[in-house]
Amino acid sequence: MDNSIHEWLNQFLELPNGIPSHDTFSRVFSRLDPEQFQNCFLIWVRSLSKMIAGEVVAIDGKTLRHSYDEGSDKRAIHMVSAWATEQRLVLGQVKVDEKSNEITAIPELLKVLSLQGCIVTIDAIGCQKEIVKLIAQSSCGTTLLV
């Protein structure tokens, strides 16, 4: 295993037996409360708002590859994300409800973002009055590119 990864992890964890296995990380992450994790993550993302001022934030939907389940007839998972292009950082993402589309998910994503001073790009599906209004409200001084 790469020694630099071990050194980096040692900043946060005691690792007397080396780097934990994939299965150990999987068990730890599966025990996290998703809502609590999201709240902590959003607090951290909001702390970055000064860092991303003036940056291009791309809002777009993507279907997760291989996320469908033919056996139980479940459709593929579709997510809407906000991507800070210069920082190369996902600022947030929301899962699109199975019987809906991006138009309902984008407002939920915008409600948790601070886009002040950013240039926001969004594709044609985002050309909805409510979505544009939310972008303008969360981002006084923001430019919207469609």
- In the chain, where are the structural domains located? 1-31, 33-145
What is d(CA 101, CA 65) in angstroms, rounded to the nearest whole number? 17
3-state secondary structure of 145: strand
What is d(CA 76, CA 83) in angstroms, rounded to the nearest whole number? 21
| Sign, CA torsion 114/116/118/123 | positive
Q: Strands 119-122 and 56-63, how do they pair? A: parallel
**How many separate helices (H) and strands (E) can be counted in the chain?**
6, 5
pLDDT at 83: 92
Please tell me the pTM assigned to this model: 0.66
Q: Is the pLDDT at 131 greater than 60, yes or no?
A: yes
User: How far is the CA of 49 from the CAs of 46, 91, 113, 122, in angstroms?
Assistant: 5, 10, 9, 19
Block residue for tokens 């279907």: 63
Element (H, E) at 90: strand 89-95
Q: Which of 5-14, 15-24, 86-95, 135-144 has the lowest mean pLDDT?
A: 135-144
Q: What is the pLDDT of residues 19-77, one digit of tens each?
A: 888 999 899 999 999 889 888 887 887 776 666 777 899 999 998 888 777 777 778 88
Domain 33-145 has CATH 3.30.420.10: yes
3-state secondary structure of 99: coil
